[in-house]
Amino acid sequence: VIDKVISHLEGNLDSYTERLFDLLRIPSISTDPEHAADMEQAAQWLQRVFAACGVKSEIVPTAGHPCVLADTGPTSEQTPTVLVYGHYDVQPVGDESLWDSPAFEPTMREGLIYARGAADDKGQLLAHVLAVEAWRQAVGELPVRVKFLLEGEEEIGSAHLGDVLRERVDQLACDYVAISDTAMFDARTPAITYGTKGMVYKEIVLHGPKHDVHSGAFGGTIANPGNTLASIIAQLHDEQNRVTIPGFYDAVRPLTPEERAAMKELAFDEEEYRASLGVPALEGEEGYTTLERQWARPTLDVNGLYGGFTGTGGSTIIPARAAAKVSMRIVPDQDPEAISAAFDRAVEALTPPGVRLEIKQHAAAHSYLCPLDSAGIRAASAALELGFGKQPVFIRSGGTLPILALFKQELGADSLLMGFCTPDCNAHGPNEFLALGGFQRGIRMAAHFVDRLAQTQ
Amino acid sequence: VIDKVISHLEGNLDSYTERLFDLLRIPSISTDPEHAADMEQAAQWLQRVFAACGVKSEIVPTAGHPCVLADTGPTSEQTPTVLVYGHYDVQPVGDESLWDSPAFEPTMREGLIYARGAADDKGQLLAHVLAVEAWRQAVGELPVRVKFLLEGEEEIGSAHLGDVLRERVDQLACDYVAISDTAMFDARTPAITYGTKGMVYKEIVLHGPKHDVHSGAFGGTIANPGNTLASIIAQLHDEQNRVTIPGFYDAVRPLTPEERAAMKELAFDEEEYRASLGVPALEGEEGYTTLERQWARPTLDVNGLYGGFTGTGGSTIIPARAAAKVSMRIVPDQDPEAISAAFDRAVEALTPPGVRLEIKQHAAAHSYLCPLDSAGIRAASAALELGFGKQPVFIRSGGTLPILALFKQELGADSLLMGFCTPDCNAHGPNEFLALGGFQRGIRMAAHFVDRLAQTQ
């Protein structure tokens, strides 16, 4: 049976690429209110694909952007149900001048598909949709029940996904959640990501004089919001690159000796990593390797800075305000609410009397760790090996999938992270890409996964 | 004779306002290459005013924006020659949304003329031009020779003024330079500013990864240019708000006990000052009063910050670069070149290996102190008293007039700073204004100055 499915999809690879390009052309940027209509269009595009292969689907409105739900229906035999999760929203474009081709005009160069969302997550979610289409068109009934939950708010913190899960808890009931929104270990080695970081995303705004004032007339007599912001941010780390927020590390679960040993065994080249990023040297928390810092240690990063005069040349003002977007990646068992409160307290304590502090919060999400001894993990592992021709490695990720803890809480299901973009895919940056070969292997993998899940115990 | 001049100008006050509005409508922003044609237009506008009252003038091109020179010619009696200096270029508009009326559409509200350049310096330079026009129209010959040097690069550091002074040293020869580009002590008390600060204006650009990268995938493993920039800026001050750059204070001339006593005698209300700026508290270098900090202590201020994601909401990136515009106001006898080099060395020393540092320089200028025992100072003082109905106080300024040291060096002349905008005039910020009454009193003062300079020894 699986041979018929694979053979069917081999014959349709060109059409799959065309359809991915269609989806990538829709600028579904969830953070920007101006793109609300594009969000709607992307959801409808997905619903039409399900309709065309006879899979029941619906667009579920939320207080934000809608979700697309689909369901292949009950199977004749007693087999597991899997819920495939993906997100059709994408990050903003950022500095357009840094893109070699327009972000929403997908372009193939040397076997790579360049477009915002190619890797994160349109190409990856579409692989699962197309695999189900192939099963439906080649065989008819699927050996397991496959449900889909495709949301439009992943890049802005999945604020309304919890509402949908709670309202549709029976409809979405499943044994496993399957998600392709992570990276392979390297371009040839597939991976199952068993842990992700959580996040707390803040914006610190410091208000000084009621408007920009002359830096000669007033300099040295009032707190400068720009200097003060720098001072606050600087004090959030110590000389060992540890975060200084009181209590920040209290709940951090230490890496086990086994985990540290497994990480050391992975073929990770620090010099190659450094060169690929174009930085003069690697830097991070003392006492940990780069992989440990990336996968298992909490971090605090400035994501953006603004304030005062930023045009050509010089303007001699003290800015009325200065601000920083600052996000923390947290790890098991740090609690986002506790970290959020500790951050606010620390920043308040660091703020001198000469400025007024405002703190905004943009996102908060839990970290996640998946148990490795399950039929789902075994099926995912087998499918990855069949799709990519190599046994997967088990890794963790510094990225955040805010919904993993939510699935566990609301549906009681663990998430199988079987992503297949490459680690250098430029997600969130300019020139995001997905390899065409990776996309096609991902579709095969997703088709095998359905087959294996029916057989693996 | 002076009565005829004053009577003539009293009859022309309305036309003077209209002509100021005409000049203010020209967006002569020197820092922005897009406004090159506006710079030319402003210079020509001034030349037409001189031509209309029979004063010889010319537009002198430079490698940057042109200067307007004018000369009333030799006098029949042996009297001093004064060179009136002003600048027709203005600061950028900044955030347009903070202006209550457009920056280049002069608007009168409650007796105040709002426009970019109203105070700094178009309204003030025009007062001297119109006073000379009044002398020419009412009397014919002036009792002293008045020359004009009106430049277009003051707001960008007067880079080519030195060339003009050196090329035209005989043509510009004078006993005093008279400049109205400073503020009164308060709205009713005129002032002679006998000291100004110098400036060194830098831009620190930190380069990290070759493009913005995902803060989850890479956070904690590389130096974040935003955090690193904050750390560098923060370390440029200590806990006492002193600048930490090695050698920074070495050449600072301490305030004399007499100066400190004179400053204490001035009616300066710190609470009113704080409230007018809208800041929760005043802050500055320990051990000095607000006036001492403003007039006589060197400072270091962030003028602008940029880097990473600054749009609506949150984007989880590590920025490829982060930058700060940072300017220092220096005092006698700090040398701009020495301070510039010390700044660069300090910032280089503070830069960790994980980022690449780039430092740009936008401006450098000397501070200035004027001797108070001269016929010029006495004439200026008398003219201010006649124009404003109150004896002037002697003050210093935190602002920078890069050309004062240059005049001393190239022409051997000291500068009489008899500015008459108010300290709250919003120069360099939104809603810059000049009081209509101040403008008119300034014209009278300038007319009296010509008269007094001929009589005072």
Euclidean distance between CA atoms A369 and A256, whole angstroms = 13
Euclidean distance between CA atoms A153 and A33, whole angstroms = 12
Q: Cβ(B188)–Cβ(B180) under 8 Å? A: no
Pairing of strands A299-308, A393-396: unpaired
Per the CB < 8 Å rule, is B220 touching A281? no
Per the CB < 8 Å rule, is A222 touching B284? yes
Per the CB < 8 Å rule, is B308 touching A304? yes
Euclidean distance between CA atoms B129 and B126, whole angstroms = 5
Q: Across residues A319-330, what is the average pLDDT?
A: 98
Euclidean distance between CA atoms B445 and B84, whole angstroms = 13
> Which whole-number Å values give the CA distances from B167 to A134, A160, B40, B162, B401, in the listed order?
83, 71, 21, 9, 21
Is B263 strand, coil or helix? Answer: helix
Per the CB < 8 Å rule, is A329 touching B216? yes
B317, two tokens: 């990136």
Amino acid at B117: G
Of the ranges A232-246, A299-313, A393-407, B103-117, which one carries the lowest mean pLDDT score? Answer: A393-407
Euclidean distance between CA atoms A415 and A445, whole angstroms = 17
Euclidean distance between CA atoms A145 and A80, whole angstroms = 7
The residues with which A282 forms a beta bridge, in sequence order, are B222
Of residues A156 and B352, the one with the higher pLDDT is B352
Residues from chain A contacting residue B91 (CB–CB below 8 Å): 315
User: Would you list the DSSP string of A312-324?
Assistant: SS---EE-SEEEE
Q: How many CA atoms lie within 13 A of B15 on its CB side?
A: 9
Euclidean distance between CA atoms B183 and B384, whole angstroms = 12
DSSP class of residue B296 equals H
Q: Of B42, B44, B47, B51, nearest to B23 (Cα)?
A: B42
Which residue from B95, B220, B223 is facing A279, i.e. has the nearest CB?
B223
What is the predicted ipTM? 0.79
Q: Cβ(B315)–Cβ(A251) under 8 Å? A: no
Q: Across residues B263-273, what is the average pLDDT?
A: 92
Is residue A71 reached through a cis peptide bond, with omega within 30 degrees of 0 on the bond before it?
A: no
Euclidean distance between CA atoms B305 and B323, whole angstroms = 6
Which residue from A156, A211, A301 is facing B219, i.e. has the nearest CB?
A301
Euclidean distance between CA atoms B224 and B403, whole angstroms = 40
Q: Of B378, B219, B200, B396, nearest to B293 (Cα)?
A: B396
B28, two tokens: 């002569």
B363, two tokens: 């401006």
Euclidean distance between CA atoms A331 and B383, whole angstroms = 72
Q: Of A140, A50, A112, nearest to A86 (Cα)?
A: A50
Q: Across residues A45-61, what is the average pLDDT?
A: 97
Euclidean distance between CA atoms A155 and B312, whole angstroms = 13
Radius of gyration over every alpha carbon of chain B, rounded to an integer in angstroms: 23
Q: Residue A135, by phi and psi: left (phi above 0), alpha (psi -120 to 50) or beta?
A: alpha
Average model confidence (pLDDT) across chain A: 95
pLDDT on residue A457 = 66
Which chain B residue shows the shortest CA-CA distance from A423? B217
pLDDT on residue B14 = 96
Q: Cβ(B194)–Cβ(B396) under 8 Å? A: yes
Per the CB < 8 Å rule, is A211 touching B426? yes
Euclidean distance between CA atoms B132 and B83, whole angstroms = 12
Angle (CA) A218-A221-A223 rounded to 5° is 100
Q: How far is A14 from chain B (nearest CA, A)?
A: 30
pLDDT higher than 90, residue A190:
yes
Which chain A residue shows the shortest CA-CA distance from B357? A280
Average model confidence (pLDDT) across chain B: 95
Euclidean distance between CA atoms B268 and B185, whole angstroms = 9
Euclidean distance between CA atoms B135 and A197, whole angstroms = 78
Sign of CA dihedral B86, B92, B98, B99: positive
Which residue from A209, A302, A431 is facing B224, i.e. has the nearest CB?
A302
Q: How far is B224 from chain A (nearest CA, A)?
A: 7
pLDDT on residue A101 = 97
B174, two tokens: 């004078």
pLDDT on residue B215 = 94
Residue that is written with structure tokens 């663990």 in the block: A414
B22, two tokens: 């005409």
Euclidean distance between CA atoms B202 and B176, whole angstroms = 32
A265, two tokens: 């065994």
Mutate to test the interface with A, among B309, B356, B360, B367 (most CBs of A within 10 A): B309
Residues from chain A contacting residue B215 (CB–CB below 8 Å): 299, 301, 303, 327, 329, 428
Q: Across residues A122-145, what is the average pLDDT?
A: 97
End-to-end CA distance of chain A: 19
Mutate to test the interface with B, among A235, A309, A348, A360 (most CBs of B within 10 A): A309
Q: Cβ(A165)–Cβ(A407) under 8 Å? A: yes
pLDDT on residue B298 = 98
Confidence bin at B143 (pLDDT 50/70/90) = very high
Residues from chain B contacting residue A33 (CB–CB below 8 Å): 312
Q: Residue A294, by phi and psi: left (phi above 0), alpha (psi -120 to 50) or beta?
A: alpha
The residues with which B195 forms a beta bridge, in sequence order, are B369, B396
Which residue from B213, B227, B429 is facing A212, i.e. has the nearest CB?
B429
Q: What is the pTM of this model?
A: 0.80
Q: Cβ(B233)–Cβ(A293) under 8 Å? A: no
Q: Of A230, A389, A255, nearest to A322 (Cα)?
A: A230
The residues with which B148 forms a beta bridge, in sequence order, are B70, B84
Per the CB < 8 Å rule, is A221 touching B294? yes
A22, two tokens: 């269609």
B266, two tokens: 């001035």
Which residue from B219, B235, B354 is facing A280, i.e. has the nearest CB?
B354
Provide the strand spans (E) within B64-133.
67-71, 81-87, 107-109, 112-114
Q: Cβ(B253)–Cβ(B331) under 8 Å? A: yes
A52, two tokens: 């065309």
Confidence bin at A314 (pLDDT 50/70/90) = confident
> Which whole-number Å values give the CA distances from A149 to A130, A178, A454, in the listed order?
15, 10, 20
DSSP class of residue A76 equals S
Q: Cβ(A88)–Cβ(A150) under 8 Å? A: yes
Helix (H) or strand (E) run with residue A213 in it: strand A213-214
pLDDT on residue B423 = 86
Number of neighbouring beta carbons within 10 Å of residue B51: 12
Pairing of strands A145-151, A67-71: antiparallel
Euclidean distance between CA atoms A57 and B402, whole angstroms = 71
Q: How many CA atoms lie within 13 A of B141 on its CB side?
A: 9
Euclidean distance between CA atoms A171 and A76, whole angstroms = 18
Per the CB < 8 Å rule, is A294 touching B218? yes
Count the residues in chain B. Answer: 457
Give me the phi and psi of A336, to 5 degrees please.
-55, -40
Give me the phi and psi of A150, to 5 degrees please.
-115, 115
% helix / strand / coil in chain A, to the nearest 5? 35, 25, 40
pLDDT on residue B456 = 79
Which residue from B213, B312, B430 is facing A277, i.e. has the nearest CB?
B213
Q: Across residues B240-254, what is the average pLDDT?
A: 97
Residues 6+ away with beta carbon under 8 Å from A218: A209, A318, B277, B294, B398
Residue range B173-219, pLDDT digits in tens: 999 999 999 999 999 999 999 999 999 999 999 999 999 999 998 99
Confidence bin at B457 (pLDDT 50/70/90) = low
Residues 6+ away with beta carbon under 8 Å from A254: none
Q: Of B369, B349, B365, nearest to B357 (Cα)?
A: B349
Per the CB < 8 Å rule, is B223 touching A283? yes
The alpha carbon of A94 is separated from its chain's Cα centroid by a whole number of angstroms, namely: 17
pLDDT on residue A313 = 87
Give me the phi and psi of A173, to 5 degrees please.
-55, 140
Euclidean distance between CA atoms B282 and A398, whole angstroms = 42
pLDDT higher than 90, residue A158:
no
Residue that is written with structure tokens 């002697």 in the block: B394
Of the ranges A103-107, A436-440, B74-78, B88-92, which one carries the lowest mean pLDDT score? Answer: B74-78
Per the CB < 8 Å rule, is A314 touching B293? no
